[in-house]
Structure 1
Amino acid sequence: MEQKIKEMKDIFKYTGIILIIAGIMTSCKGKDDPKPDEDTQAAIIEALQGTWTANEVRKDQTVISDFADFSLTISEKNYTTQNGSPVWPESGSYDFETAEAESEFLRQDGRLFTANVNNGVLTIVIVYEEETGRGEYGTYEFVME
């Protein structure tokens, strides 16, 4: 009987050790890189290519007319704009550097934006805060075709 009790204690002890090791290994697992792989990046960049014209622009969920003639031309990881000031510079670049999702990009000026293409419509959301204090701050959503 004492032998069986000793065996049971050993089983519990080894089971506990295995569970602890498994827990440590699980917690030490590296963080997944949120940046999309090269093939996915190429497909996303391909979908963004072209000249897009604003159909509707919202600032903090309210439709505005400030960007009625806004257009954005994307070529590879570069862009040019017309009538995008102050939210969009006339030209620049973007990349996936600090992306936390496949649809998140970082502009050369350090501003993050999201971009999604669905059924021929490009939607870009960017949080903008003008440094000169003219009150251009807010979340802008550009819906373009």
Structure 2
Amino acid sequence: MKILFKYTILMMMVAIMMFSCNPDDASEIDEEKANAVIEALQGTWTASEVRKDQTVISDFENFSITITDKSYSTENGSPVWPQSGTFDVQNAEVEDEFIREDGRLFTANVNNGILTLVIVYQEETGRGEYGTYEFVMN
């Protein structure tokens, strides 16, 4: 009986040690995914089409965004995009989701040399600027 008890304790300790190693490996993989997406965003992008709530609009003619590491600068993006700012990974499991320094969530996806930025925007001053904006850029 004592031998069975010792083996049970030993097996439990081995199991605890094995499970305690997994979370570190998972966070490294998520960080790698996020860094790969951020690297793909680098550069200067110019809008070819902008949609608000799935309707093409002309409010952002000549909009461009330059992304360097985790910061950005824009031209003609007001009020949806400030002239400059920073962003960070919101959730490492969803590698294309980011949060700006002002707390607004956006997604960014690069596919075949085209960047698509989607942001839900609601103006805090109450002028009525709100909706889901999709910026298609090359």
Unaligned residue ranges in structure 2 (runs of 5+): 1-22
- Deviations along 1:89-143, one digit per CA (max 9) or x if unpaired, are 0000000134661110000000000000000000010000001111110000000
Q: Which residue number in structure 2 is paired with residue 128 of structure 1?
A: 121
How many pairs align? 114
| Runs of 4+ with deviation above 4 angstroms | 33-36
Q: Distance in 2 between matches of 1:35 and 1:103?
A: 17
Q: Which residue number in structure 2 is paired with residue 70 of structure 1?
A: 63
1:63-142 equivalences under 5 Å are 63-98=56-91, 101-142=94-135
SS, match of residue 56 in structure 2: strand
Q: Does structure 1 retain, via aligned residues, the 8 Å contact 2:31–2:92?
A: no
For residues 35 and 133 of structure 1, do their structure 2 counterparts lie closer, same or farther at Cα, with a shift above 3 Å needed?
A: farther
Unaligned residue ranges in structure 1 (runs of 5+): 1-29
Alpha-carbon RMSD across the aligned residues, in angstroms, is 2.0
More deviation in 129-138 or 34-43?
Answer: 34-43
More deviation in 119-128 or 39-48?
Answer: 39-48
Q: Which has the higher strand share?
A: 2
More deviation in 34-43 or 122-131?
Answer: 34-43
More deviation in 108-117 or 92-101?
Answer: 92-101
Look at both structures and tell me which one has the larger radius of gyration over its CA atoms.
1
Q: Which residue number in structure 1 is paired with residue 3 of structure 2?
A: none
Structure 1-normalised TM-score?
A: 0.73
SS, match of residue 37 in structure 1: helix
- Deviations along 1:61-100, one digit per CA (max 9) or x if unpaired, are 0000000110000000000000000000000000013466
- The residue type paired with residue 101 of structure 1 is V
- Percent identical pairs in the alignment equals 71
